[in-house]
Structure 1
């Protein structure tokens, strides 16, 4: 798992707006919907999920 330069921008986007970081990584699919719901329920779960998705892909 090598981090690229674009991952830095994705992490910054994930801290500011978690669904944006997920969208930049995987596009528009069910993962984005899950992240939007987690962000609505609580900001921290949305950020954690976004970090997980960025590191996973």
Structure 2
């Protein structure tokens, strides 16, 4: 079964980017907005909080 991109699910590229470069994954998923800036701040404060936040945003958990 093929998943429609507009359905809101994360694809594998966004998940990999969320682990490697969290702000880029959030930018590609949501664009420049509040979640992007939160991701930048968390990434600068520590890579692990940035990764966790990016995974939550990309998978539409929050």
What is the RMSD of the two structures over their aligned residues, measured on CA atoms? 1.9
| In structure 2, C-alpha distance between the alignment counterparts of 1:40 and 1:48, rounded to whole Å | 13
> Structure 1: 5+ residue runs without aligned partners?
none
What is the deviation of 1:14?
Answer: 1.0
Give the TM-score of the pair, scaled to structure 1.
Answer: 0.85
Give the TM-score of the pair, scaled to structure 2.
Answer: 0.79
Structure 1: 4+ residue segments shifted above 6 A: none
Structure ranking higher in helix proportion: 1
Counterpart of 1:41?
45
> Structure 2: 5+ residue runs without aligned partners?
1-6
Bigger Cα Rg:
2
What is the deviation of 1:3?
Answer: 3.9
Aligned pairs, number:
55
